[in-house]
Amino acid sequence: MNTEAISQPLKAAVDQGIVCGAAYAIIGADVHEEHYLGWCDDSREHPVVSHLDYDLASLTKVVATATRIFQLLGERTIELEDPVGSFFETSFPDVTVADLLLHDSGLPADLTDVWQYESAADVWQAVKDSQLVYPTGSAARYSDLNFIILGKIIEKATGNPLAVEIHKHVLKPLGMHDSGYCLGNEPFRDRNWFVPTEMTQKRGQVWGSAHDETAWQLQGCAGHAGLFASLSDLENFAQMYLNDGRFHDQEIIPKQIAVRLPELDHFERTLAWIRWTPNRKNLWHTGFTGPGLGIDLDRRRALIILTNAVYPKRGNEAWQAARRAAAAAFFGGKYREKQA
């Protein structure tokens, strides 16, 4: 594996000031590299170091929510064919758990103007009242609503709050001690534990709390966003996938799901994940704040990228290009490019 080719666009992004700093890891059978580059913000007072927690944004979907959903599927507590209507009353009762995971539910990408709602209950009601914008199963269009609903299904199926379920069944058994929801509320964590994200008109400098507006309106904990994690914690998560769903001899994801997951190629996706290439067992996902997570199960290696690309403001297309270049070097080809 050419780790320098993977590193080059990430290092260049920091050197050129596209992002203030970044942390990334490349792991595999014959390599384990960790890199900490640059600074947490433009004050240049706090260098990027190993213990920092990053807002994972949509990596929450695959790290937290999908992992717990896969566990519940393995236990037969829920089934892929279960309709949403069997859990709660909604305007789309026939959409299934599989549709939500595959992003082919037909639901819109997000709520319109989430700031209009006065409470988390109002936000959740608005999600349940959402109307389909295309026929279920006819296409795949990425939607935060899909995973907000999956987070609520976890709560309904277990009787516990989402944060409790994720901590007990995902983070704790994976040794992800620096990870969780609403970490900024913990008294022993000051701002130096986190990298800042966006400077906003509504909330000022977002730092140590969920950047995603809908997750914030859901009190910082949701199925689609809100999770924080450190680089080393995500290495544990990736190692679990590379070990067929096991971590330190404990099954985290049932092997039948972990091993067969990438075999499903549905509108360029599999359950919860993006397929980087259509004919290989590889998984990819990104987050709005800048992170990326790639797992190549054919070659048994992983790439974890963390940064705060929405600092001081969103719309950092240059970082998106750098992240995709690193992923292309890692996977060995351009996105969706068939390979022998």
Q: What is the pLDDT of residues 91-135, one digit of tens each?
A: 999 999 999 999 999 999 999 999 999 999 999 999 999 999 999
- Structure confidence by residue, pLDDT tens digits, 20-31: 999 999 999 899
pLDDT mean over 202-218: 97
Name the percent of the chain lying above pLDDT 70: 98
At 84, is the secondary structure helix, strand, or coil? helix
Site of tokens 């640059």: 38
Task: Identify the pLDDT of residue 279.
Answer: 80
* Band of residue 44 on the pLDDT scale cut at 50, 70, 90: very high
Does position 36 have pLDDT exceeding 80, yes or no?
A: yes
Per-chain mean pLDDT for the chain: 95
Nearest to 57 by CA among 195, 235, 262: 195
The CA distance from 128 to 124, in Å, is 6
Residues in the chain: 340
Task: Identify the pLDDT of residue 257.
Answer: 83
The CA distance from 95 to 81, in Å, is 9
Does position 316 have pLDDT exceeding 90, yes or no?
A: yes
Task: Identify the pLDDT of residue 262.
Answer: 64
Distance separating the N- and C-terminal Cα atoms of the chain:
17
Task: Identify the pLDDT of residue 319.
Answer: 98
Task: Identify the pLDDT of residue 264.
Answer: 67
Is the sign of the CA dihedral 164, 170, 176, 182 positive or negative?
A: negative
Q: Say how many CA atoms lie within 13 Å of 42 toward its Cβ.
A: 12
* Band of residue 12 on the pLDDT scale cut at 50, 70, 90: very high
Task: Identify the pLDDT of residue 3.
Answer: 96
Does position 172 have pLDDT exceeding 90, yes or no?
A: yes
pLDDT mean over 236-254: 96
pTM over 0.95: yes
